[in-house]
Structure 1
C-alpha cells in the first residue's frame, strides 16, 4: 500500500461511517407523534405505516452500503482491478477497444450488483407498502432498454475521453470537458422527446378545467407552454410527482397520472407553478452550469494525476494505462465530489424554497401549495421529521415541514 491507498481508504471509511451515523440519528429522530400541521391529513395508522416504510428503506440502505463497501475492498485488495486489466490486455485489441472493455466490464459488474438490490427494493419493500405496480416483465424490459441506451450513449463518450487522453497530451482535459459539456446539453434536448418515451407513455393533457387553469396561469407569468403531458407513472408505482424537463421547444411539463387522481385543480396548478418557477428563476440553467464546472474541475485534476505511477501501484496494476487511470482517479476524486455535493445540495434546497415562494406569490394563494405538499407527503409516506444532519448530507429538497413553515410566512391566503 502507498499514500494514495491510504487516502482513498481513509475517505471511503470516513464517508461510510459518516453516513451510517447520520442514518442512525435519522432513525432516532422518528417520533410517534404526528406533527400538528399534519393531523388533518395523517391518521395514526397511516403515519405508523410511514415510519415502518422509513425504517425498512433505511435498514436496507445500511445493508446495501455495507455490502457495497465490503465487495469493493475485497475486490480491490484481492487484485480484482489488476486481474480485469490483465484479461482485457490479453485480448490483444487496440488501446481504445481495450479501454472500453475494461471500463464496461467493471461498470457491468457494479450494475449487476445494483440491479439485484434494486430488484429486492422494488418487489419486496415497495411491494410490501403498496407502491409497486410494475411486473417482472416490465422491470426486465426497463433494464434492457437502459442497458442499450447506456451502450449507445456511453460507449462513444468513453471512447472520446480515452482518445483525447491518449492523443491530445496536455490539452486532453479541455477537449474532454468540451465534449462532455456538449453531450450533457445534447441529452437535455433529446431526453424529453427521444429517451423518456422509451420507458413511459406521455399523453397530452385532455382539454378541460385543469388544462385551462394551467394554461391561464402560464400566460399570466409569461411562460411559453405548448402543451402539458401526463405520464403513466401508475404502470410502475403508485407514488406521485411532477417535473419539468428539456429546453426550448423540446421542454415539457409532466404530471404523473397518479398526481392528477389525488389532487384538486388548484393544488395541481400550485405544483406546476413550482416547476415553472424553477425555469423562470433559471434554476435549471444554474444547476447545469454548476455541473459543467464540476466536470471541468474533474478533468483538470485528472490530467494532473492520471499518469502518476503511485495511482496504479495503489490498485496493484503493473502497467499504467488511461482506462485504468480513469477508474482509479474517480475513487481518488470521491472526497472532493462528496464536499462539492454538499454545496450543490444546499443550493438545491435554496432553489426549492425560492420555487415555492414563486408559486405562492404568482398564484396569490398559499393554501393549495401547502395542501398539495401535505397530500404528496402522505401519499408517498415521506419522513416528516428527518434529522438535520441527515438532511445536510442527503436531501436535495428541504423537509416538508420546513417548506410549509416558509410558505406560511408569505402571509397569503
Structure 2
C-alpha cells in the first residue's frame, strides 16, 4: 500500500473507532431509566435515580467534547504530517537513535497531557464537585501530575529505551526478548505495586485491631486464605467514592480497603466485600489474568515486529525517512480495531470472574450482605442501574448491578 493510501487508512480507522465509541455511548445515555427496582426500594429514590441520570448525561456531554477534541487533533496531526514534522525538527538538534525516540515520545506525552489538564481540572473541580464526589485539593491535583510525569519518565522511559535498543540491535526478532522483559516487569508491578508505587500517591495503614479486623481474620482462616494484614487507604483524599482491591502474589498479598468503604458499610458488608476479593484469588482469577495479559502482550509485540521497519508507515505520518517511533505510533493506530476486540474479550472474561467471585462470597460467607454492599456502592456513586446491553458488552468489566443482585438474592 502506498503512503497516501495508508495515511487515509489510518484516518479512516481513527474515525470509525471514534464513531463506534460515541454511538454505543449515545445508545447507553438515551436508554430509559425505568422505574426503581423493588430490590433497591430502600436505597434508591426516584430523585436519586434522576440525579444519577443527570450525572451520566453530564459525563457523556463532557466526553463528547474531550473525545472530539482528541479525535480532531489526531486527524490534523495525521493529515498535515505533524508527526513526521516533529521527527524532522528534533533531528535538527542532532538527536538520533534512542535519545531521539525518548525525546520524541516525551514531547508527545507531555504535550498531550498539558492539553488535557484544563479538561481534567474541569472534570475534577466542576463535575465531580457539583455531584459531591470531589475531595481533591488543587495542590493534590498538580502534585499527582508531577509525580505521574516523574514515574512515566523513570519507568516508561527505561522500558522505551530498552525496546528501541533491542529493535536497533536485533531487528525483527526483538519481540520475544522484550516480551520476556515485559512479562517480568508485569510480575514485578503486580507483586510490589501496593508496596512501592501506591504509597507515592496514597497513605496505607494497617486496619486497626477490633471487631472488623477480628471478623476478617476469622473468615480468612475459615477459607484457608493466608492473610497477615488488611490495609486501609486514604481514598477520601481524592474522592468520596469507595472501593477495595487485592494486590500482590504469594507472601506479598495485600487486601486494601478505601477508608470511604469503612465509613459507608457495616462489618458484615465489609467482610462480604473482602470475601469477594478473596474469591478472585481462590478461583485463580489473579493468576489467569496475569497469564492472559502476558500472552496478549506477546501477540501485540509479535505483530509490531512485522511493521516496525515499514517505510510506508513513517511516510504516511509525514516523515522523510523510516523512524522507529513513527512506526510505533502508526502501529498503535492500525492495531486499534484488534485492541478493541481484545478489550471486549477481556471484559467478557472479567464479568465471568466477577460472577464467580460473588458466588464464592455467597457460598463461604453470605450473599445478602454482599448484595447490600453493592446496592450502597452503586447508589452512592450514582451508577447506571439500567445500562444498554451493547454498552455493557463492550465496556463493562463488572456485570451490571441488577444482574449481580439477581444471582446473590
Tell whether the structures are fold-level matches, with TM greater than 0.5: yes
Question: What 5-or-longer segments of structure 1 have no aligned partner?
Answer: 409-413
Whether 1:239 aligns to 2:247 is: no
| Structure 2: gaps spanning 5 or more residues | none
**Is the CA contact 1:172–1:303 (under 8 Å) kept in the aligned structure 2?**
yes
* Residue 2 of structure 1, CA deviation: 3.1
1:8 Cα offset (Å): 2.3
Distance 1:243 1:367 in 2: 20
Superposed CA offset, 1:234-267 (max 9, x none): 1111001111111223221011111111111110
CA-CA distance at 1:32 after TM superposition: 4.9
Q: Distance in 2 between matches of 1:352 and 1:115?
A: 34
Conserved 8 A contact 1:4-1:332: no
The 1-side partners of 2:4 and 2:271 are apart by: 58
In structure 2, what is the Cα distance between the partners aligned to 1:93 and 1:83? 14
Tell me if structure 2 keeps the 8 A contact 1:192–1:251: no
- CA distance, structure 1, for counterparts of residue 96 and residue 321 of structure 2: 15
- Structure 1 segment 281-300 matched on structure 2, within 5 A: 281-300=283-302
Q: Which range is displaced more, 267-276 or 181-190?
A: 181-190
Name the residue aligned to 2:51. Answer: 49
Q: TM-score, normalised by structure 1?
A: 0.96
Query: For residues 380 and 176 of structure 1, what CA distance do their matches in structure 2 show?
Result: 40
Shift in Å at residue 105 of structure 1?
1.2
Tell me what 1:250 maps to: 252
Number of the residue aligned with 2:85: 83
1:55-114 deviation line (CA, Å, top 9, x unaligned): 111111122111110011112212210111012211213411111111111122222233
The CA deviation at 1:124 is 0.8
Q: Deviations over 1:173-227 (max 9, x none)?
A: 1111111111111112221111101111111001111001111111111111110
Query: Contact between 1:218 and 1:224, CA under 8 Å: does it hold in 2?
Result: yes
Q: How does 1:7-406 map to 2 (within 5 A)?
A: 7-363=9-365, 365-406=366-407
Task: Select between 2-11 and 153-162 the one with higher mean Cα deviation.
Answer: 2-11
What is the CA–CA distance in structure 1 between the aligned matches of 2:407 and 2:26, rounded to whole Å? 27
Other structure's SS at 2:33 match: coil
The SS at the match of 1:168 is: helix
* Structure 1 residue 301 displacement after superposition: 0.9
Give the number of equivalent residue pairs.
Answer: 407
**Stretch deviating more after TM superposition (100-109 or 354-363):** 100-109
Match of 1:407 in 2: 408
CA distance in 2 between counterparts of 1:115 and 1:328 reads: 25
2:304·2:331 contact (CA, 8 Å) conserved in 1? yes
Q: 1:411 corresponds to which residue?
A: none
